[in-house]
Amino acid sequence: MDDLITREYETVSGIAGPLLFLERARTASMGEMVEILLPSGETRRGQVIELSEQHAIIQVLEETTGLGIAGTRVRLTESAAMMDLSPDLLGRRFNGVGLPIDGLPPIIPEARMEIIGRPLNPVARDKPAHFIQTGISTIDGLNTLVRGQKLPIFSGAGLPAKELAAQILRQANVREDLPSPPSPFKGEAKVGASAFAIVFAAMGVTFREASYFLQEFERGGVMEHTVVFLNLADDPTIERLLTPRYALTTAEYFAFTQGRHVLVILTDMAAYCEALRQIATAREEIPGRRGYPGYMYSDLASIYERAGRIRGKAGSITQLPILTMPDDDITHPIPDLTGYITEGQIVLSRELHRKGIFPPIDVLPSLSRLMNLGIGPGKTREDHRAVADQLYALYAQGRDVRRLAAIVGEEGLTDSDRRLLKLAQDFEQEFVNQGEQDRDIDGTLDLGWKFLRYLPKDRLTRVKPELIEKHYGANG
Amino acid sequence: MSGTIIKISGPTVVAREMAQTRMFNRVAVGRIGLLGEVIRVRRDEATIQVYEDTTGLALGDEVSDAGEPLLVELGPGLLGSIFDGVQRPLDVLAAEHGDWIARGLKLPALPRDRQWVFTPLVRPGTQVAGGACVGAIQETEKIQHRVLVPPGVSGTVLEIRGGTFTVTETIAVLDDDRPLAMLQRWPVRTPRPVAERLPPVVPFITGQRVFDMLFPVASGGTVIVPGGFGTGKTVVEQTLAKYAQADIIIYIGCGERGNEMTEVLADFPHLKDPTTGLPLMQRTVLVINTSNMPVAARETSIYTGITLAEYYRDMGYSVALMADSTSRWAEATREISARLEEMPGEEGYPTYLATKLAEFYERGGCVRCLGQADRQGSVTIVSAISPPGGDFSEPVTQSSMQVAGALWALDSDLAHRRHFPAINWKRSFSLYAAPLDPWFRAQVAPDWPQLRIDLAALLQKEEELQEIVQLVGIDALQDQERIALEVSRLVREEYLRQNAFSQIDAACPLEKQYWILKALLLFLHYCRERLKQGWAIEQLLGSPFRAELERMKETPPRDCVQQARAMIEKMGQEVGK
C-alpha cells in the first residue's frame, strides 16, 4: 500500500520524441506536472497526458536530448500547471512556461491559478459593445474591432503582420465617454492610471521578431503595462503548447480580478499548431487533415475563447492572434479552424504588399463579426454601416471590372465600369494605403465618402437617401 | 455498482469491474463525480466518455454506474431555459457557482420548487395509453403545456387532481398504483414514438425572400446550410430563430462562439415573436455548448435538443430546431471514435458517420401524434454545417446532403461582397418546392410557382450573359440582353439580398415577397416593350419605376404591397399587358 504515498518513480521504460513512458506510476493524475531528474542532477519539466495500467505518458516540455532510461527519476508535483499571479507581473518577462527570464526574482504571488482555465459560462458573458479605434481605416471603417473580441491577423511569410500589430498597439484607442486622447493606450493610462494591460506571448518566432515587439513596447512607453512570455524558435517546442495558456491565465487575472482592459497578442499561432501536430504524431494518433490532430479545433477554441467580458466586471480581454498561413492558403487547417472560432479575421494580401501598400489588408476576405456591436450613432457614426457595406460592394465590383478589363481592355468598358475601375484603384492607394498615419473614425468615414462620390447617387443603393443627402454633397 | 479506472486518455476513461453495466449507461467518474456515459463494453471493462475535463483523475479512482441511460428531463418550465449539452441549467449554474463552469456539479434541469397550475382534462375511470393528454398547464402566455401519458404506459386513471403542484408531485394515479407527475424523463438517444409520419405539405415560413420564394422548406422538413467561415451561417440560424413562424424554437449552439451566444441571450428577451407579439424567449429553449466547453457534451447537445423538440411536437406543436453547427457534433464523434481506436473512414470520421447523421435528421418530420387521432406536430431541422476550407465535398456535407430535403449553400464570394444571406442560387436546391406549390397557390397567389420559375430563369439567363461579357465585353450584347442583365442585378440587390439587421427588412411577409417580385419581373417586361418602342437603355435605367423598386424592401409591408400593385397597373397601362 505504500504505493499510495509514492511520489517518485524510477520506472522510465521508454522515450520517444517528446514523450516519456513511466511504468506503474499508480499515483499520477491527469494533467499533473512532473519533474524529471537526470543522473547529472539536471531537472526538466513534464506533464502527464495519458494514464493506463501499463504506463503514464509524460510530455517533456524541454527537449528529450540526453535523456536516458537508466538513473532517470520522475517526481510528481501533485499539481497541475499553475501560474503565480500578482500586479507585479507587469513589466516582467517570462519564458514559455512562466519562469522569469529578465534576471529578476520570481514574483510573490497574490493568487495562483491553473493555466488550463475553466470554460466561462456563456450566461456570465457580457455582450461586447465598445469600439476600439485602431487608427487604421480598413479596420476601423470596414472591420471594426470591439473590446472583448478575438480578431486574428492572417498573414503570409514575409508579410508585415508584426508591423501592423505594432501600429495597432501604438494607436489603439478605446473610445468610451472620454474624449479621444491622441495616444491611445498611453492616453488611457493617463486617465485611469492603470486601465489597460498588454499580454504578449511569442511562440516559435525568431529573436528578431520578438525584439521588434519589445522595442515597440519601449517606444510606445507601455513596457510597464506589459507582461511578456517568450518561447522563441530555438526554445523547446513542447513548451509552446503551454505558453498561450500561461499568457491567457495572466490576462484573465488582470481583466477580471484587476479590472483592466487587456490586449493579448499571440504570435505565431501556426507555430503553436505545429507543436500540437508534433505531439499528436508522437502519440501515434490518427491524423486529421494535413496531419493535424482531429481535436485541433477544440484545442484552439480553448485558447481563442478565453476572450471577452464578464457581466458585472470592469475588465475585458481582447485577443489579437497572429498566424502565418502556410503558402498563403486560407483553406489550410490552421487559418481555417481559426476562422471558425474567432470573431472574424484581418487578411493580409501579398498582391497589395507587392504594390507597396501598407498595411496590405485585403478587405474582401477580412471580416469583423462583432462590428455591428461597436458602431453606429453614439459609438462611431450613423452612416458607418452603410458606408462600409457600400464600399465593400463597390470595391468588389471594381475588382471584377479589373479582371474584365484585363481581358477586353479598358476601351471595352462602359462609363460606369470605368468609374468602378478607378474606384478600386484609388481605394487601394488611398484608403488602404495609409502607412504610418493615424486616422480617427471621422477621417476614415469621410475618406470613404470620397470614393462613394465616384458614382452617381442612384448607384448607392445600400445607403439610405437621408444619409446620401447629408454626406454626399452637392456634386453628383 | 461501481468499478475502478484503469486508463485515462483525454475525455475517455476505461474502468474495470463493470461487467454489470450496459451500453450508454450514465456513470459518475472519480471523486468529484464527473458525468460520463458508457460507450463500449468488453468483458468487465467499460469505456466511458466523460462530459467534463478529466484533469486530476487518477488510476484507481471510482466509477459508479447509475444503472440507467442519460435522460432528458421533460415538463413545464423548459421554455425560456438555457441548458448546456447535458441539460444543466446554465443560468442557475452561474447564479449558484459563479462565472466559470466548475466540474462535477449536478443540477436538475427543471426547478423543483416552482409551482404550476394543473388542469385535468380526463376523469377518473378513463382508459389512457401512451401519448394521451391527461391535463394541461399554461406554461407561457401562448403555449399550453399538455401533460401526456409517457409512451409505453397505459391503464385506467384511478385518481386525478387539479390544483397547484411542483413538477415532481403526483397529479394522477393509474391502476396498479402507478403515479404520474408532470416531470418525465426520456433517454436522450432514443427517438420518441409517433402514431404515423405524414408527408410535409405546409411551408416553414422564414420571412426570408431567397428561402421562401426560391428554396422553400416544409414544416417538418430538413434543410442543411453549409458554408465556410464568415459566410453567415450563424446569422441565418439566428434570423430564423427570430423571425420564422413556429410555435417553439429549440436553438442548439453546438461548439460555437461564446460571444455569439451572449448576443442571443441579450437580444432574445427583448425581441418579439412575429406571430404572437410575445417575448421571443417564451417560445425558445437554448442548448448551448460552446467550443471551449467539453467535447463529449457537445456530442450530446444535439440529442438533448432534438428530444426536447420531439416532446413539444408530441403535444401537437410545430417546432423548429436550429443546430449550429452539425459539423462540430460530427467532429466530436470523430474525436471520441479516435480515442476508441476505431478504424477511421473518410477524413478520419468514423465509418458510421452517415448512419448517425441520417438517424438524427430522421428525427425531424411531420407526424400524427401518439395518443390522439387529430393531433399533429412537426419538427423542422435547420442544420448549419462548417465544411473545412469551405469545400462541400467533405463527408459531413455530403452525408447530410443525401438525407436533407433542401440545401441552402452559402457562398464566400457573395459574403465578401456583403451580399447576405449569401445564398448561392446556382448550388442550392429544395425538394419541397413542388409539394408546397398547392399551399402557396391557395394561400398567397395562384401564380406563385410561376414567379419562382421566372425568377430562376432570369438568374440563369444572367449567368449565361455574364459569361459572354467576360469574354467579349458588354458591347457584344444587344439592348434586350443588356436590360435583362440590369434587371437581374436589380433582383439580386433588391430582392435576394435582405438585411437581417434592418427593422423593416429583417422579416418579409409572404405577400410582400410576392408583390415585390411580381413588380420586378413586370419591370423587365416593361423595359423590353419600351426598347421595342425605341426607348434608350439609359432612359429606362433612370426611370422612376426603378427608383421605386429600389426602395420597396425597406417599405412597411402594407404600403409596399399597395405601391407594387399601383406600379404594376401603371406599367401595364403604359405598355399593355
Are B206 and B166 within one domain? no
Using the CB atoms, write b or e for B47-65: b if 16+ within 10 Å.
Answer: bbbbbbbbbbbbbebbbeb
Distance CA A236, CA A275 (A): 10
At residue A333, what is the residue type?
P
What is the span of the domain harbouring residue B55? 2-69
Q: What is the pLDDT of residues B63-105, one digit of tens each?
A: 999 999 999 999 999 999 999 999 999 999 999 999 999 898 8
CB A403 within 8 A of CB B473: no
Contact between chains at B391 and A331 (C-beta distance less than 8 A): yes
Residue among A289, A372, A392 whose CB faces B501 most closely: A372
Strands B222-226 and B406-407: parallel
Distance CA B574, CA B528 (A): 12
Query: Is A13 or B270 the better-scoring residue by pLDDT?
Result: A13
Q: How much is the mean pLDDT over chain B?
A: 93
Are B349 and B465 within one domain? no
Q: How many inter-chain contacts (A to B, CB under 8 Å) are there?
A: 219
For helices B557-575 and B510-532, angle between their N-to-C axes, nearest 10 degrees? 20
Nearest-Cα residue of chain B relative to residue A397: B417
The domain that contains B566 carries what CATH number?
A: 1.10.1140.10
- What pLDDT shows up at residue A90? 95
Q: Is the peptide bond before B438 cis (omega within 30 degrees of 0)?
A: no
CB B233 within 8 A of CB B500: no
The domain that contains B138 carries what CATH number?
A: 2.40.50.100
> What does each C-alpha distance from B463 to B450, B460, B466, B503 come to in angstroms?
20, 5, 5, 32
For helices B510-532 and B479-491, angle between their N-to-C axes, nearest 10 degrees? 160
Position B77 in a domain: no
Find the mean pLDDT for residues B350-359: 95
Are B176 and B206 within one domain? no
Q: Burial, B259: exposed, middle or buried (Cβ in 10 Å; 0-12, 13-18, 19+)?
A: buried
Find the mean pLDDT for residues B331-359: 89
Nearest to A462 by CA among A398, A402, A392: A392
Distance to chain B for A336, nearest Cα, Å? 6
Conformation bin of residue A119: beta by default, left when phi > 0, alpha when psi is -120 to 50: beta
Q: Burial, A445: exposed, middle or buried (Cβ in 10 Å; 0-12, 13-18, 19+)?
A: buried
CB B57 within 8 A of CB A29: yes
CB B291 within 8 A of CB A297: yes
Residue among A52, A308, A313 whose CB faces B6 most closely: A52
- Contacts (Cβ under 8 Å, ≥6 apart) of B83: B89, B90, B109, B285, B286, B287, B288, B304
At residue A243, what is the residue type?
T
Residues of chain B with Cβ-Cβ distance to A298 below 8 Å are 255, 291-292, 295, 331, 335
- What pLDDT shows up at residue B459? 96
Residue among A286, A331, A341 whose CB faces B257 most closely: A341
Q: Burial, B536: exposed, middle or buried (Cβ in 10 Å; 0-12, 13-18, 19+)?
A: exposed
For chain A, how long is the longest CA-to-CA vector? Answer: 91
- What pLDDT shows up at residue A325? 97
Distance CA B155, CA B135 (A): 16
Q: What is the DSSP string of B226-291?
A: E--TTS-HHHHHHHHHHHS--SEEEEEEES--HHHHHHHHHHGGGSB-TTT-SBGGGGEEEEEE-T
Nearest-Cα residue of chain A relative to residue B470: A404
3-class SS at B156? strand
| CA dihedral over B550, B553, B559, B562, signed as positive or negative | positive
Count how many domains chain B has: 4
- What pLDDT shows up at residue A473? 84
Contact between chains at A412 and B412 (C-beta distance less than 8 A): no
Distance CA A187, CA B563 (A): 54
For chain B, how long is the longest CA-to-CA vector? Answer: 91
Are B212 and B310 within one domain? yes
- What pLDDT shows up at residue B479? 92
Are B393 and B307 within one domain? yes
Are B174 and B201 within one domain? no
Are B209 and B171 within one domain? no
Distance CA A287, CA A172 (A): 40
Residues 285-324 of A with CB under 8 A from B: 285-289, 294-295, 297-298, 301-302, 305-308, 310-311, 313
CB B448 within 8 A of CB B437: yes
- What pLDDT shows up at residue A194? 54
Domains, chain A, ordered by start: 2-80 (2.40.30.20), 102-374 (3.40.50.12240), 384-471 (no CATH)
Of the residues B403, B432, B461, the one at which a domain ends: B432
What own/partner pairs with CB < 8 Å and gap ≥ 24 does B133-137 have?
B133/B315, B133/B371, B133/B372, B133/B375, B134/B160, B134/B171, B134/B172, B134/B180, B135/B160, B135/B162, B135/B171, B135/B172, B137/B76, B137/B182
Nearest-Cα residue of chain B relative to residue A290: B347
The domain that contains B208 carries what CATH number?
A: 3.40.50.300
Q: What share of chain B is helix, strand, coil (3-state, %, to 5)?
A: 40, 25, 35
Position B443 in a domain: no
Position B89 in a domain: no
Position B339 in a domain: yes
Find the mean pLDDT for residues B289-309: 93
Are B305 and B361 within one domain? yes
Q: What is the pLDDT of residues A203-259, one digit of tens each?
A: 999 999 999 999 999 988 889 999 999 999 999 999 999 999 999 999 999 999 999
Position B105 in a domain: no
Residues of chain A with Cβ-Cβ distance to B57 below 8 Å are 29-30, 51
Are B502 and B560 within one domain? yes
CB B52 within 8 A of CB B34: yes
Distance CA A17, CA B6 (A): 25
Report CA dihedral (A170, A174, A179, A183) to the nearest 10 degrees.
-10
Are B235 and B329 within one domain? yes
Position B428 in a domain: yes
Contact between chains at B418 and A389 (C-beta distance less than 8 A): yes
CA–chain centroid gap for B27, Å, is 30
- What pLDDT shows up at residue B342? 87
Q: What is the pLDDT of residues B32-68, one digit of tens each?
A: 999 999 999 999 999 999 999 999 999 999 999 999 9
**For chain B, what's the residue count?**
577
Nearest-Cα residue of chain A relative to residue B466: A404
DSSP character at residue B122: S
Complex ipTM above 0.95?
Answer: no
The domain that contains B24 carries what CATH number?
A: 2.40.30.20
DSSP character at residue B205: -
Q: What is the pLDDT of residues B157-190, one digit of tens each?
A: 999 999 999 999 999 999 989 999 999 999 999 9
- Contacts (Cβ under 8 Å, ≥6 apart) of A214: A223, A228
- What pLDDT shows up at residue B475? 80
**Chain B touched by A345 (CB under 8 Å):** yes
Position B188 in a domain: no
Nearest to B282 by CA among B76, B487, B423, B444: B76
Residues 24-83 of A with CB under 8 A from B: 26-32, 50-53, 80
Distance to chain A for B488, nearest Cα, Å? 15
Distance CA A65, CA A51 (A): 23
Residue among B58, B258, B331 whose CB faces A122 most closely: B258
Distance CA B490, CA B496 (A): 9
Contact between chains at B230 and A389 (C-beta distance less than 8 A): no
Are B224 and B168 within one domain? no
- Unique residue bearing C-alpha cell 426547478: B111
Distance to chain B for A208, nearest Cα, Å? 32
Of the residues B126, B154, B182, the one at which a domain ends: B182
Of the residues B432, B465, B482, the one at which a domain ends: B432
Phi, psi of B341, deg, nearest 5:
55, 40
Distance CA B198, CA B201 (A): 9
- What pLDDT shows up at residue A5? 62
- Unique residue bearing C-alpha cell 426607348: B535
pLDDT confidence bin for B577, thresholds 50/70/90: low
CB B320 within 8 A of CB B249: yes
Distance CA B190, CA B307 (A): 8
Q: What is the pLDDT of residues B504-540, one digit of tens each?
A: 999 999 999 999 999 999 999 999 999 999 999 989 9
- What pLDDT shows up at residue A180? 36
- For residue B147, how many C-alpha atoms fall within 13 Å in the half-sphere facing its CB? 28
- What pLDDT shows up at residue A187? 38
3-class SS at B99? coil
The tens-digit pLDDT sequence of chain A (476 residues) is 444 567 899 999 999 999 999 998 889 999 999 999 999 999 999 999 999 999 999 999 988 889 999 999 999 999 999 999 999 999 999 999 999 999 999 999 999 999 998 899 999 999 999 999 999 999 999 999 999 999 999 999 999 999 999 999 888 865 443 333 333 443 343 334 358 899 999 999 999 999 999 999 998 888 999 999 999 999 999 999 999 999 999 999 999 999 999 999 999 999 999 999 999 999 888 888 888 998 899 999 999 999 999 999 999 999 999 999 999 999 999 999 999 999 999 999 999 999 999 999 999 999 999 999 999 999 999 999 999 999 999 999 999 999 888 888 888 788 889 999 999 999 999 999 999 999 999 999 999 999 999 999 988 988 988 999 999 986 44
Position B91 in a domain: no
- Contacts (Cβ under 8 Å, ≥6 apart) of B575: B525, B526, B529, B530, B533
Distance to chain B for A420, nearest Cα, Å? 14
Contact between chains at B82 and A149 (C-beta distance less than 8 A): no
Are B143 and B214 within one domain? no
Contact between chains at A31 and B55 (C-beta distance less than 8 A): yes
- Unique residue bearing C-alpha cell 458591347: B475
